[in-house]
Amino acid sequence: MLYLLTRLTGACRYCGVFNVFNYITFRSAGAAVTAMLIAFLIGPRMIARLRAMKVNQGVREGTPESHLQKGNTPTMGGVIILIAGLVPVLLWARLGNRYVWTAMAVTAWMGSLGFIDDYLKLRQRRNGEENRGLIERYKLVGQVSIGIALGVWLLMDPISSLPGASSTLPFYKYVLVVPMFAWLYVPWVAFVLTGVSNAVNLTDGLDGLATGLSAIAFATFGIFAYVIGRSDTSHYLQIYYLAGSGELAVFSGAFIGALIGFLWYNTYPAQVFMGDTGSLALGGALGAVAVLIKREFWLVLVGGVFVAEALSVMLQVTSFKLTGKRIFRMSPLHHHFELMGWPESRVVLRFYIAGALLALLSISTFKLQ
């Protein structure tokens, strides 16, 4: 919306200042600052409201005993992230850009799915029922559905000049086009969105952990989107160019600001948890950006900690079912380190460091291709 101010350039002697709204870097920074301010503004009121409504889901079964004291911490704080993240996008991004609307649609869908799950958990707890939330197969159907919808749409009507059924691999310059197996693209996109959203959800087990790691991931993909969306930088780095994809840097900037603002209340000891409302939305947003800029495989690098958390759960379950033995003291992985004696704050900080190192490695692939 604010981008429209560029039309005033040249209308008067002092209107040239509005030319700064042409720059994606300026609008990305503006979106980030706006998101932080919104989070700081609505955070205390939202937390107070959630606490008054007793919106807490209790402690997950199987978590360390040290987490029992968190049973009364309000959840569904992901609403703060969604409001603080999506509103600045509407203000600072070019609203005629299809990349932006696609990413926002996926984020809103995943956030709504998480909201339903959190709401059902709350209602079931109040009614004395088993605290299951949304039945897993229904949640999976919701996640897969948006993935199929996105895959089909990109396959039938590619946003960019590149074919819909295309992607890239780390350390390779060229776009991978597989027209013979284009039908695999739809389940691939569904797998990416479902996998990332569930991985972020599993990581959301310590105060500030998923929040900080998501901010690092958004910063990395924001840089990717900016570079790929500029003809000069993409030509210099000899990588593919996607016209218009740079607006996803504004989208990413907004969520970086929203997450930093939310982290103010979510850091240890947390005043509020994001719940599935936040974790599913963040995973969906990251997955959507990766799919749109043809960098799905980079999720393994950028989101390496998320992948490790998800793999630890799968390995733990598989090992216990096949051998009756556990590989980790407890899964997801962050609980394993807690039971090794690491304080929660140390686990979170060291996972941040790992996430930052993986992000730098991912960015370095621009010159290693």
pLDDT per residue as tens digits for the range 12-56? 655 656 667 788 999 999 999 999 999 999 999 999 998 888 777
> Average of pLDDT values for 304-327?
92
Tally of CB atoms within 10 A around 15: 14
Q: Confirm if 288 and 106 have CB atoms less than 8 A apart.
A: yes
Return the pLDDT at 59. 60
pLDDT in tens, 339-365: 898 999 999 999 999 999 999 999 988
CA geometry: angle 309, 313, 314, nearest 5 deg? 115
Among the residue ranges 17-21, 94-98, 120-124, 237-241, the one predicted with the least confidence is 17-21
Q: Residue 34 CA to chain centroid, in angstroms? A: 18
Q: Which two tokens stand for residue 97?
A: 């850009």
Q: Confirm if 279 and 210 have CB atoms less than 8 A apart.
A: yes
Return the pLDDT at 55. 74
Among the residue ranges 191-195, 214-218, 294-298, the one predicted with the least confidence is 294-298
Return the pLDDT at 305. 96
Residue whose pair of structure tokens reads 């989107």 in the numeric block: 225
The CA-to-CA distance between both ends of the chain, in Å, stands at 37
Q: Confirm if 262 and 39 have CB atoms less than 8 A apart.
A: yes
> Average of pLDDT values for 142-156?
92
Residues 6 or more apart whose Cβ sits within 8 Å of residue 65: none
The most confident of the ranges 59-73, 112-126, 160-174, 313-327 is 313-327
For residue 8, name the pLDDT band (cuts at 50, 70, 90).
low
Position 236 pLDDT exceeds 90: no
Q: How far apart are CA 189 and CA 151, in angstroms?
A: 6
Q: How far apart are CA 44 and CA 52, in angstroms?
A: 12
Q: Which two tokens stand for residue 112?
A: 């709504």
Q: What percentage of the chain exceeds 90 in pLDDT?
A: 58
Return the pLDDT at 179. 54
Exposed, middle or buried: residue 72 (CB in 10 Å: 0-12, 13-18, 19+)?
exposed
Cα 143 to Cα 109, 169, 182, 214, 361, distances in angstroms:
9, 24, 21, 19, 29
Return the pLDDT at 280. 96
Alpha helices in the chain (DSSP H): 24-52, 78-92, 98-126, 136-156, 185-203, 209-228, 231-236, 247-266, 275-292, 298-302, 304-323, 333-339, 344-368
Return the pLDDT at 247. 95
> Average of pLDDT values for 149-177?
78
Q: Confirm if 92 and 25 have CB atoms less than 8 A apart.
A: no
pLDDT in tens, 316-340: 999 988 888 889 888 899 989 988 9
Do you find a cis peptide bond into 343, omega within 30 degrees of 0? no
Exposed, middle or buried: residue 310 (CB in 10 Å: 0-12, 13-18, 19+)?
buried
Q: Which of 348, 325, 11, 70 is nearest to 212 (CA)?
A: 348
Q: How far apart are CA 277 and CA 83, in angstroms?
A: 12
| DSSP reduced 3-state for 177 | strand
Position 175 pLDDT exceeds 80: no
For residue 165, name the pLDDT band (cuts at 50, 70, 90).
confident
Position 9 pLDDT exceeds 80: no
pLDDT in tens, 55-84: 776 666 656 766 667 778 888 999 999 999
> Average of pLDDT values for 217-238?
92
Phi, psi values for residue 161, rounded to 5°: -75, -10
Position 125 pLDDT exceeds 90: no
> Average of pLDDT values for 289-311?
94
Per the prediction, the chain carries an average pLDDT of: 87
